[in-house]
Amino acid sequence: MNSRWPYYTPLIILGILAFYFAAGLGQNPAKVKSVLINKKVPEFLLPPIEGSLKGFSNSDLKNQVVLVNIFGSWCVSCRIEHPFLMQLKEKKSIPIYGIDWREPDSTAGPKWLEKFGNPYTLIGDDPNSLGAIAFGVTGAPETFIVDKNGIIRFKHLGPITKDNWDETFKPILEDLRKK
Amino acid sequence: MIVEIGHFSLVLALFIAGLQGTLPIIGAHRNNHSLMAVATPAAIIQFILILGSFIALTYAFLVSDFSVINVASNSHTEKPTLYKISGVWGNHEGSMLLWALILAGYGAAIAAFGENLRPTLKVRILGVQALIGTGILAFILLTSNPFLRLTPAPVNGNGLNPLLQDPGLAFHPPLLYLGYVGLSLTFSFAVAALIEGRVDAAWARWVRPWTLAAWGFLTGGIVLGSWWAYYELGWGGWWFWDPVENASFMPWLAATALLHSAIVSEKRDGLKAWTIFLAIMAFGLSLLGTFLVRSGVITSVHAFASDPTRGVFILLLLIVTIGGAFILFAWRGPTLKGAGLFQPVSREGGLVINNFLLTVAAASILLGTLYPLFIDVLKLGKVSVGAPYFESVFVPMMIPMIAIMGLAPLLKWKRGDFKTAIEKLKFAIALSIIGGLFVWILIDRASAFTSLGMTISLWLLTATLTELAGRIKLFRGPLSESINYLFRQPRASWGMTLAHAGLAIAIAGITASSSWKVESIQIMKFGDQVNVAGYNYTLKHVREIQGPNYKALRGTFIVNKGDDINWVLEPEKRFYTDPVMTTTEAAIRPTFLGDLYAVVGDRDEKSGGYITRIYFNPLVPWMWTGAIIMVLGAGISLTDRRHRVGAPSSNKIPAPGIPAE
C-alpha cells in the first residue's frame, strides 16, 4: 500500500460522524414530531372505566387548552409521572384527560387510581388501543397538548417531570392560552 | 470541610495534569532530561490528588452530607451502606470522577511499573495520558462538579433508583470503567509511538499486557451488566442490543482485535499501522460510548440525565482526542512499514481475517446504533433499530470467525499448511459435525440455526483442545511426559486456550438459551402446581415482607422433580417508596442443564391468585461460566513473566511444540 489515502480514511469518517453528533445534540429524541401535530384530534369514543359513568370522546375536547395523557397501571414510568400529575391537579394548572391503555383487566385501572389518586377530569377505557391508535401513541406514558379548537399542538414521550414541564410545556401552554 | 478539600484537590489535579501533559512531551522532543523527569512524579501525584478527591466524595455519601447537591439528589439516610458507596458512582458527576480516578490510576501504574520502557516512550505515554486527563478533569470541574453545595440542605436525600440498588450493578460500573478507561493506555501507547515514529516488536510487547488487562476488565464488566439485566429485569433475557450495551460491546470487539493484531506486530513485525489504528479505535469507541450515554443524542433505558452543555463538551473532547490521533496517524502511518511478509494460509492470515471480521462487526453495530441519529438529523423521521438487525448482521459474521478461530492456532507463522492442520483437526471436525447432527435429530425444537450454533461451539472447543494436545504431545509419547509438558506450558498459552475454550462454552449457552427457553405464565393460587421443563412448581404462599427501604411481596415456590429434588424458590416484587418504584427480583436456581427462573407478579383480584412467570433457561449457567473462564484466561496470561520483561528472555527453555518466536 503505497498510497497515503487509506491513512486519511479514519479522519474523514470521524469528521462525518462529528457532523451528525453536533447536529444531533440540538435535538431531543424524546420530542417526537407526530404526523398529527397541528391536525384535529381524530374521532374516537371510549367507554368509561369501571366505577365511573362518563367515558371520553373527541367531542369533550373543545373550548379549552387541555392535556391528554396515555397511562396504564402496568406502566412503571406512569407511576413515576403520577405524583406530578396529582400536583398539577391540586394547583388547578390544567385539565388532564386520561386514556387508560391496555389494562390486563377492567379493575386494574380503577384500583390503581384509587391507590395513587385520580388526576383526570375524564378517563376513557382503552383495552383495544382504539384511542391510542387515534393519537398515534407509541408507548406509555405519552402526553398531548390539545388547544381550544381541538387541534393537537404538542406530543411528549415519557414521564412529565418538573423540569420538562417548566422548560417545554409551560411556554407552549402560555402561548396557546394567549391565542 | 472535607468536601472543600476534595474539591480543591481536584482543581490541583487538573493543574498537575496540565503540566504532565506538556512539559515531558516538549522535553522528549528536545531531549531535555529535566523536563522529561516531571512525568513520573506528576503522574503519581495526580493520581493521589484525584484519589483524595474521590475519598472526600465517598465520605460525603457515607455521612449523608445533604448540603452537597450530588449527595442530596442521589442518596438517602436509610440506604444500606454498600449502596451509599455505590451511590458515589451511580450518578453522572460521581461516575465521571471515578473515570478520572481510573485514568490517573493507569497513568500512575505506568509511572511506577514502566521502568523497562524506553524513557522517551514512557514520558510521552504519560504525557498523552495526562492530556486526556486534563480534558476529563476540566469537563468535571466545568460541567459536572460533584462538590457543589446546596443551601439550605434538605433533611433527607432523593434516594437512588432502586433498580440500581443491587450488588451486580454496584460493581458493574467500576469494572466496566477499568476496562473502558484501560483502553486509554493503549491509546496513549499508540499516540506516543506515532509521535516517536517508531513501532517495533518491543512496543508491541509492552502494549499487550495493558490491552489484556483492559480487555479482561471490560469482559467482566459487560458480563456483570448482562447478568444484572438477566435477574433484575425479570423476563429471562440477558442482552438487548440497547445503545448503552452496544457502547460497551464495540470497544470490546475493537480490543479483542487489537489483542490479536498486537501479537502479529510483536512476533512477526507486521500489521503495525493496523495495530496502531485499532489502539486508537478501541479508546475512540469508549469515548463515543461515554458521549452517547451522557449527551442524550440517543434514547436508552440506562441513559443518565442528559444535558446539551455536557454533550458539547464531550463531543469536543472526542473530536480533539481522536481527531488529533488520526491526524498523527495520517501523517506517520504510511512510514510504519512492516517487515513480516506472510502467505494467506498462515497464522497471520487467520488473525488478519478475524481482525477484519471483528472490525466489520463493530462497524455494523456502530451503524445500527447511530442509524436513528442519522435519520433524525436528516429529518427523515424517527426510527429505532432493534435486536433483529443486530442479530441478523452480527451472528453470520461470527460463524466464519469461529471456524477460523479453531484452525488458525494450528497454522504456522508466515506459511501454514492447510492440509496438515485439517489432518490434525479431523477428530474435532468429525466430533462437531456429529454433535450438530445429534442435536438436529434427537432434540425437539432444534432448528438448523441451533444445530449450527452447537456445531461451531463444539468445533471451537475440540479444536482448542486439539491444539493444546498437540503442544503437550498427547498420545505421541508417554503420558507422564505429556503431563510434564502440560505444567510447563507458558501462562500466555494457557490464556489463549482458556479464553477460546471459554468462548466455546459461552456460545453453547447463548445458542441453547435463545432456542430452547421454556416459558409459562399463569395465575396461581396457593397450593396450585405447574410443570415447567420437567420440574413441578407448587406455589406455597405469598407473603408481605419489610426490607430496609422497601416493602415486598415474596412468593414461595416448592420445586420437585423425582424424589431427590426439593428446592425452594423465593422471588420478590419490591415496592420502593423513595422514589416510588417497583422492581422484580427473580429467584434463580442454576443447574447443570439450565436455570430454573421464577418471578412473582401482581395479585389477580378476580381469582385471588397471583400472576407467576416461570422459565427454564437452558445452559445459561454455561454462558456465565464460559465468560468467567475467558476472564480467568486473561488473568493467567497476565501473570506470564514474558509480559513483564522488556526483551525475550534467553535463559528460559521453551516448552516443546511452541512455534519459534
State the Cα–Cα distance between residues B202 and B314, nearest whole angstrom.
34
State the Cα–Cα distance between residues B256 and B182, nearest whole angstrom.
13
Closest CA to B136 of B294, B299, B370: B294
Whether the CB-CB separation of B189 and B279 falls below 8 Å is answered with yes
pLDDT value at position B301? 47
Domain CATH number, residue A136: 3.40.30.10
C-alpha R_g of chain A: 21
Give me the sign of the Cα torsion angle B39, B45, B50, B51: positive
Q: Give the one of B327, B334, B376 whose C-beta lies nearest to A27's C-beta.
A: B376
Question: Does A155 map to a domain?
Answer: yes
Whether the CB-CB separation of A58 and A86 falls below 8 Å is answered with no
Crossing angle, helix B81-89 and helix B92-113, to 10 degrees? 80
Question: Does A104 map to a domain?
Answer: yes
Best probe of the B interface among A2, A12, A16, A17, by most B CBs < 10 A, is A17
Q: How many CA atoms lie within 13 A of B34 on its CB side?
A: 0
pLDDT tens-digit map of B374-386: 887 887 766 667 7
State the Cα–Cα distance between residues A23 and B321, nearest whole angstrom.
20
Count of CB atoms within 10 A of residue B492's CB? 21
Question: Does A22 map to a domain?
Answer: no
pLDDT value at position B18? 95
Nearest residue in chain A measured CA to CA from B310: A25
Residue window 276-335, chain B: list those with CB within 8 Å of chain A.
277, 280-281, 284, 291, 295-299, 308, 311-312, 315, 318-319, 322-323, 326-327, 329-330, 333-334
Is residue A24 within 8 angstroms of chain B, CB to CB?
yes
Question: Does A33 map to a domain?
Answer: yes
**Which whole-number Å values give the CA distances from B548 to A179, B86, B601, in the listed order?**
52, 16, 21
User: How close B196 gets to chain A, by Cα (Å)?
Assistant: 17
**Which whole-number Å values give the CA distances from B351 to B218, B252, B262, B496, in the listed order?**
21, 17, 10, 13
**Chain B residues with CB inside 8 Å of A29's CB?**
296-299, 372, 376, 382
**Chain A residues with CB inside 8 Å of B296's CB?**
28-29
Question: Does A7 map to a domain?
Answer: no
pLDDT tens-digit map of A24-59: 776 554 444 455 777 888 888 888 998 888 889 888
Q: How far from each other are the two terminal CA atoms of chain A, in whole angstroms?
A: 67
State the Cα–Cα distance between residues B6 and B53, nearest whole angstrom.
4
Closest CA to B259 of B196, B325, B213, B195: B213
How many beta-carbon pairs below 8 A join chains A and B?
Answer: 84
State the Cα–Cα distance between residues B314 and B309, nearest whole angstrom.
9
Give DSSP secondary structure letters for B297-356: SS--TTPPPP-HHHHHHHHHHHHHHHHHHHHHHHHHGGG--------SSSHHHHHHHHHH
**Chain A residues with CB inside 8 Å of B281's CB?**
10
User: How close B307 gets to chain A, by Cα (Å)?
Assistant: 9
Q: Under an 8 A CB cutoff, do B373 and A79 touch?
A: no
C-alpha cell at B630: 475467558
**Quick one: A47 exposed, middle or buried, by C-beta within 10 A (0-12, 13-18, 19+)?**
middle
State the Cα–Cα distance between residues B516 and B562, nearest whole angstrom.
22
pLDDT value at position B658? 39
Q: Under an 8 A CB cutoff, do B299 and A4 touch?
A: no
User: How close A178 gets to chain B, by Cα (Å)?
Assistant: 30
Residue window 63-82, chain A: list those with CB within 8 Å of chain B.
76, 79-80, 82
Nearest residue in chain A measured CA to CA from B305: A163
Give DSSP secondary structure letters for B344-396: SSSHHHHHHHHHHHHHHHHHHHHHHHHHHHHHHHTTS------HHHHHHHHHH
State the Cα–Cα distance between residues B450 and B463, nearest whole angstrom.
20
**Chain B residues with CB inside 8 Å of A14's CB?**
284, 319, 322-323, 326
State the Cα–Cα distance between residues B449 and B442, nearest whole angstrom.
15
Cis peptide before A141 (omega within 30 of 0): yes
- Residue A72's domain comprises 29-178
* CB-based burial, B190-229: b 16+ in 10 Å, e otherwise: bbbbbbbebbebbbbbbbbbbbbbbbbbbbbbbbbbbbbb
Is residue B562 within 8 angstroms of chain A, CB to CB?
no
Whether the CB-CB separation of A96 and A45 falls below 8 Å is answered with no
- Quickly list H helices, B425-540: 426-442, 448-471, 479-487, 491-515
State the Cα–Cα distance between residues A110 and A121, nearest whole angstrom.
14
Question: Does A4 map to a domain?
Answer: no
Q: How far from each other are the two terminal CA atoms of chain B, in whole angstroms?
A: 58
State the Cα–Cα distance between residues B633 and B638, nearest whole angstrom.
9
Q: Under an 8 A CB cutoff, do B322 and A20 touch?
A: no
Whether the CB-CB separation of B383 and B306 falls below 8 Å is answered with no
Question: Does A95 map to a domain?
Answer: yes
Is residue A25 within 8 angstroms of chain B, CB to CB?
yes
**Chain B residues with CB inside 8 Å of A7's CB?**
273, 329-330, 333-334
Give Cβ neighbours of residue B296 (< 8 Å, ≥ 6 apart).
A28, A29, B303, B306, B307, B308, B311
pLDDT tens-digit map of B217-264: 999 999 988 888 888 776 667 888 888 888 889 999 999 999 999 988
C-alpha cell at B224: 456483570
- The torsion angles phi and psi of B603, rounded to 5 degrees, stand at -80, 135
**Chain B residues with CB inside 8 Å of A76's CB?**
581-582
Domains identified in chain A, total number: 1
Question: Does A11 map to a domain?
Answer: no
Q: How far is CA B373 from the centre of its chain?
A: 25
Closest CA to B428 of B406, B448, B409: B406
pLDDT tens-digit map of B538-585: 999 888 888 877 888 899 999 998 888 889 999 998 887 766 677 788
Give Cβ neighbours of residue B542 (< 8 Å, ≥ 6 apart).
B526, B553, B554, B555, B556, B600, B603, B610
Q: Give the one of A7, A82, A107 whose C-beta lies nearest to B333's C-beta.
A: A7
Crossing angle, helix B201-232 and helix B620-638, to 10 degrees? 150
- Please tell me what DSSP assigns to residue B153: P
User: How close B311 gets to chain A, by Cα (Å)?
Assistant: 7
**Chain A residues with CB inside 8 Å of B372's CB?**
29
- The torsion angles phi and psi of B608, rounded to 5 degrees, stand at 80, 5
pLDDT tens-digit map of B106-147: 999 999 988 888 899 999 999 999 999 999 999 999 988 999
State the Cα–Cα distance between residues B360 and A39, nearest whole angstrom.
44
Complete edge-to-edge strand list for the sheet that includes strand B587-591: B518-524, B610-618, B594-603, B587-591
State the Cα–Cα distance between residues B270 and B347, nearest whole angstrom.
12
Closest CA to B338 of B244, B273, B399, B403: B273
Q: Give the one of B326, B334, B582 whose C-beta lies nearest to A10's C-beta.
A: B326
Residues in chain B: 661
State the Cα–Cα distance between residues B212 and B207, nearest whole angstrom.
9
Give DSSP secondary structure letters for B600-637: EEEE-TTTS-EEEEEEEEETHHHHHHHHHHHHHHHHHH
Best probe of the B interface among A1, A9, A14, by most B CBs < 10 A, is A14
pLDDT value at position B357? 93
pLDDT tens series, chain A, 179 aa = 457 778 888 888 888 888 888 877 765 544 444 557 778 888 888 889 988 888 898 888 888 899 999 998 877 778 888 889 998 988 888 999 999 988 878 888 888 898 888 999 999 998 877 788 778 776 778 899 998 888 888 888 778 888 888 888 988 888 888 77
Nearest residue in chain B measured CA to CA from A104: B604
* Model confidence pTM above 0.90: no
Q: Which residues of chain B fall below pLDDT 70?
A: 158-164, 234-236, 295-308, 340, 381-384, 444-446, 578-580, 643-661
- Quickly list H helices, B144-200: 167-196
